[in-house]
Amino acid sequence: MGGLKTFILRGNVIDLAVGFIIGAAFAKIVSSLVNDIIMPPIGLALGKVDFSNLYLNLSGASFTTLADAKKAGAVTINYGLFLNTIFEFLIVALVLYVLIQQISRLTTKPAPVAAPTTKECQFCFSTIALKATRCPNCTSQI
C-alpha cells in the first residue's frame, strides 16, 4: 500500500489529475461555445437551420424533431450533432496548437554562438587559424 501512496503523491500524477479536470471543464466551455455562440449564426445564415436537430430517420416514420424521434425509439443518423462535435474538436485542436507553440517559444533557448576559431587571409583569402601571424599558403605577414 505504501508504493501506491508514493505513486499517487508524485508530482506527475497530481499534475495529470489537475490537467484532466481542467480539460473536462474546458471541453464544457468549448461545447457551449459551439452550440450556443458559433452554430446559431451559421444556422441563421444557412436559412434558420438548427444543426443539433439535423438527422436522417432510418425507421421510415415521420418526426418533427430529433427529440421526438429519440423518444419514439426511431433509428437515426445524427449528422447535425456530428458537425457540432467536429467544430468542438477543431476549436480544441486550435487552442492546443497555439498553447504548444507559445510554450515551445518560451522554453526554447537560442543556441550559444561559438567564438570564431579561424579567420581569412587578407592576401590569398584562405582560411587560417585565428592566432596565426603568417599565412601558411601565401606566407604573407598578417
Q: Is the pLDDT of residue 126 over 80?
A: yes
Q: Where are the beta strands (DSSP E) in the chain?
A: 56-57, 76-77, 118-120, 127-129
Among 47, 43, 41, 34, smallest CA distance to 86 is for 34
Q: Is the pLDDT of residue 32 over 80?
A: yes
Residue 24 contacts residue 92 (beta carbons within 8 Å): no
Domains of the chain, residue spans = 2-109, 114-142
Task: Kindly indicate the confidence band of residue 40, based on its pLDDT and cuts at 50, 70 and 90.
Answer: confident
User: pTM of the full predicted structure?
Assistant: 0.56
Distance (Å, rounded) from C-alpha 137 to C-alpha 140? Answer: 8
**For 76-114, what is each residue's pLDDT tens digit?**
888 888 988 888 888 888 888 888 888 888 887 777 888
Give me 130's grid cell. Answer: 585565428
Over the Cα atoms of the chain, what is R_g?
A: 32
So what's the pLDDT on residue 50? Answer: 77
Task: Kindly indicate the confidence band of residue 36, based on its pLDDT and cuts at 50, 70 and 90.
Answer: confident
Q: Could you tell me which CATH number the domain at 2-109 has? A: 1.10.1200.120
